[in-house]
Amino acid sequence: MPAKLLILGGTTEASALARKVAEAGMPAVFSYAGRVDRPREQPVPVRVGGFGGVAGLARYLRAQAISHVIDATHPFAAQMSTNAVMACAATGVSLIALTRAPWSAGPGDHWTRVPDMDAAVAALAGPPRRVFLAVGRMHLAAFAAQPQHRYLLRLVDRPVALPLPGASVVIDRGPFSVESDIEVLRHHQIEWVVSKNAGGTGARSKIDAARQLGVPVLMIDRPAIPARPEAQTPAQVLGWLAHSGVNLGV
Ligand code: NAP
């Protein structure tokens, strides 16, 4: 069977991989969940929307004759990553995850680590503060349990309705710089940054900005995902493909 890749996307790293795969002339499909209005264009064919759980993904892999899945989703997309492990195991399709190391606190960082989103909500109990809530649109509702704070949200699309009335909203998809995030934290007089431990460079600037300003960070640890082979760079993924006998065409 000729090789055909499925790239599970939605991250900067997934887009970087798609560029390399296109340069190598490999047949590939790029998959978005469909969470944002205008996803970035890709140099390979794109499909959008859920597959329908493990069974739906397994059906898709068979129907599209996918030989290799590269899970380049965000480290907090635990459901998709778990489904990929299970569907690939069920169909015998090869799987690798393109991951990035989590961030770790260094000198000058004031982090409180919490294990998950619920713990982050609980940790915000206390007097009103100005909080930069950088957790993404899907998780905002949980923070309505701490309505005393003045929240700043940064979102890719303007929301139709917000579960946090009174929150300030900045619409911006980045990329962001440390300098501009220092300006954002200063302008909004931010006293807490709440962040997922995404790792990588795409979402890092707010953490560096918080360090420089001495602003404390509530850092949410990553969810658990079943063990799978992992690569840290697109080049390593291409190496894995070549190793498994795929002709990269360059
Ligand atoms: P999730 O909770 O793990 O996934 C929920 C469901 O969304 C999955 O079961 C799947 O539906 C569908 N899905 C997720 N990623 C998909 C993809 N790449 N292609 C097709 N369907 C997908 O995921 P999430 O945290 O909502 O993240 C959704 C997307 O946003 C991912 O592509 C992720 O890379 C990106 N993203 C997430 C975060 C974050 O913090 N979570 C941050 C930046 C970008 P079915 O079960 O129906 O297949």
Residues 143-180 have pLDDT tens digits of 999 999 999 999 988 888 899 988 999 999 888 999 99
Angle at 195 between CA 125 and CA 228, to 5 degrees: 125
**Residues within a 6 A CB radius of ligand 1:** 8-11, 31-33, 35, 50-53, 56-57, 73-74, 76-80, 83, 136, 138, 196
**Residue 125 CB partners (closer than 8 Å, separation 6+):** 146
CA-196 nearest atom, ligand 1: 40
CB 194 within 8 A of CB 119: no
Question: Measured between alpha carbons, how far is 204 from 154 in angstroms, rounded to an integer?
Answer: 14
CA of 1 to the centre of ligand 1 (A): 28
Closest CA to 24 of 65, 56, 57, 70: 70
CA of 120 to the centre of ligand 1 (A): 21
Query: What integer pLDDT is reported at residue 131 of this predicted model?
Result: 98
**Residue 244 CB partners (closer than 8 Å, separation 6+):** 68, 94
CA of 95 to the centre of ligand 1 (A): 17
CA of 49 to the centre of ligand 1 (A): 9
Query: 194's torsion region: left (phi>0), alpha (psi -120 to 50) or beta?
Result: beta
Residues 186-204 have pLDDT tens digits of 999 999 999 999 998 888 9
Closest CA to 199 of 166, 233, 250, 173: 233
Residues 110-124 have pLDDT tens digits of 999 999 999 999 999
pTM for this model (two decimals)? 0.92
